[in-house]
């Protein structure tokens, strides 16, 4: 939670500073934010603050963990302005892939699994400056939902576990906090930068159709199930271009 507080504090301080400076900035129109809706497209980077438990289950080597790589993906956001200073915002990453590399006792083996992630956060927004301002710094607090699908084990992992392995991951829900700034660039266009933090966790289940060779030839010993807890907790940075309507 200390990281959560640090991100929120830093973001709020930045936004407050921009809010103080905003009245001195020239305005492009009398009411550049008269339109109630803003749709944005851009890129988002997830900097994972990941931590995993050791892989647990029968016939599992000790100390097997994983590092979640930090992906960059396409994103879209939709904001609905409500009154002078408030709004509702949906932040979503267009589904993207994420890789897990071996760590702990299997450090250096490279990629051990991958999955596809779809994530969205619905937030309440407070804008520090009025609609007449060209710069609109803001903070928001919301609730995140993340789902994982198309989990797949690498050939390296399947070799280590002695069989074809199915990977499944549970969905995640948790709070998210964000700080950002919008800039009215022309009649209908807006440029935005956002930084935030989500709490996100998932439980991975690996089911291996295990084949062993004890000297008399390959023998199928059935399904062995193993589990790993994964904390993601990413710091998230967005850069977007939007259209007001």
Residue with tokens 């807006």: 190
pLDDT for res 211: 85
CATH number (domain holding residue 7):
2.40.160.20
Give 18's DSSP letter. H
Q: How far apart are CA 47 and CA 31, in angstroms?
A: 36
CB 241 within 8 A of CB 75: no
Which of 172, 174, 176 lies closest to 141, judged by CA? 176
Q: How far apart are CA 45 and CA 77, in angstroms?
A: 14
pLDDT for res 16: 44
Residue-level pLDDT, tens digit, the chain, 245 residues: 444 444 444 444 444 444 444 444 434 344 555 578 999 999 999 999 999 999 999 989 899 999 999 999 999 999 999 989 999 999 998 999 999 999 999 999 999 999 999 999 999 999 999 988 999 999 999 999 999 999 999 999 999 899 999 999 999 999 999 999 999 998 899 999 999 999 999 999 999 999 887 777 787 889 999 999 999 999 999 999 999 99
Which pTM value belongs to this model?
Answer: 0.80
- DSSP per-residue codes, 156-177: HHHHHHTEEEEEEE--EEEEEE
- The residue range of the domain holding 174 is 2-244
Give the number of domains in the chain: 1
- DSSP per-residue codes, 50-114: -EEPPPBSTT--TTEEEEE---EEEEEEEEEEETTTEEEEEEEEEEEEEEEEEEETTTTS-EEEE
């Amino acid at each position: 939670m200390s990281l959560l507080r640090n991100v929120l504090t830093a973001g709020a301080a930045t936004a407050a500073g921009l809010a103080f400076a905003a009245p001195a900035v020239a305005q492009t129109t009398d009411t550049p934010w008269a339109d109630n809706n803003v749709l944005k497209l851009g890129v988002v980077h997830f900097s994972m603050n990941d931590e995993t438990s050791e892989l647990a289950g029968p016939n599992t080597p000790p100390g097997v963990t994983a590092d979640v790589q930090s992906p960059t993906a396409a994103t879209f956001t939709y904001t609905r302005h409500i009154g002078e200073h408030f709004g509702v915002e949906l932040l979503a990453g267009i589904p993207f892939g994420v890789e897990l590399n071996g760590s702990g006792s299997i450090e250096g083996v490279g990629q051990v699994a991958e999955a596809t992630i779809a994530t969205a956060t619905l937030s309440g927004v407070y804008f520090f400056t009025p609609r007449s301002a060209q710069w609109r710094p803001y903070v928001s607090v919301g609730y995140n939902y993340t789902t994982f699908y198309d989990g797949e084990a690498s050939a390296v992992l399947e070799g280590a576990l002695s069989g074809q392995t199915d990977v499944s991951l549970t969905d995640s829900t948790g709070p998210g906090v964000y700080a950002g700034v919008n800039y009215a660039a022309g009649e209908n266009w807006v440029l935005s930068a956002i930084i935030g933090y989500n709490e996100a966790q998932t439980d991975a289940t690996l089911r291996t159709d295990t084949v062993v060779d004890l000297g008399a030839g390959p023998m199928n010993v059935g399904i062995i199930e193993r589990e790993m807890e994964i904390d993601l907790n990413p710091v998230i940075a967005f850069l977007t271009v939007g259209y007001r309507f």
